[in-house]
Amino acid sequence: MTKLYLTRHGETEWNLQKKMQGWHNSPLTQLGEKQAKWLGDRLAEVELETIYTSTSGRTQRTAELIRGNRNIDLIPKDNLREINLGDWEGEFVENIKKQENEAFRKFWEEPHNYRKETGETFYQLKDRVVPLIKQIISDHNPNSNILVVTHAAVLKVLMAHFENRPIEKLWDPPFMYQTCLNLVEINENGYKVLLHGDTSHYQE
């Protein structure tokens, strides 16, 4: 069976500053780099065939640190980027709450009703990431171990897909902490989620 390992990038400067990132980027913090190395240690004995990453700098750096000195292909994919947040990109969360409180509330509490003139809906995000993951799975031989390094909303959409949950339940626990590990087994009978939001590799 194929094993799909999925994770989020390490902590970034904008995570600390409570800014929305989306397609915009900010560098990993020192802790973010440590988080990536911790996950690299955890996966050291897993024979990863390929690592896929979004084209955002924070995910590519995380993937490099997880890979370490191992000779594993790192393949960036645009469709693994975070949800496009339009004019919220780079804005402080507190400012968005004040200026567009209802849209912000729907983003977190009613994701199925979230709409903006700029950026993507969660349905549009699902339409670009789920087909890509299906293609990645089909492109590899059974029994492959594949790592995907991406973003929080992307992971929530993918795990909802694997668990057959609707978009309205997108933000159900667990929370997707930085470099948390999700593990899904894929065989002819479908998907089996073995890990979901696991952070047991954190060392501090």
Q: Give the residue ranges of the annotated binding site.
A: 8-15, 58
Annotation says 9 is catalytic:
yes
29 neighbors 178 (Cβ within 8 angstroms):
no
Phi-psi region of 163 (alpha: psi -120 to 50; beta: other; left: phi over 0): alpha
* Binding site listing for substrate: 8-15, 58
Q: Which helix (H) or strand (E) holds 136?
A: helix 122-139
Integer Cα distance of 23 and 32 in angstroms = 18
**Helix/strand/coil for 28:** strand
**Helix/strand/coil for 163:** coil
Annotation says 201 is catalytic:
no
Integer Cα distance of 33 and 35 in angstroms = 5
The residue among 14, 5, 90, 120 whose CA lies nearest residue 58 is 14
Spot the catalytic one: 82, 89, 120, 196: 82
- Active-site annotation, residues: 9, 82
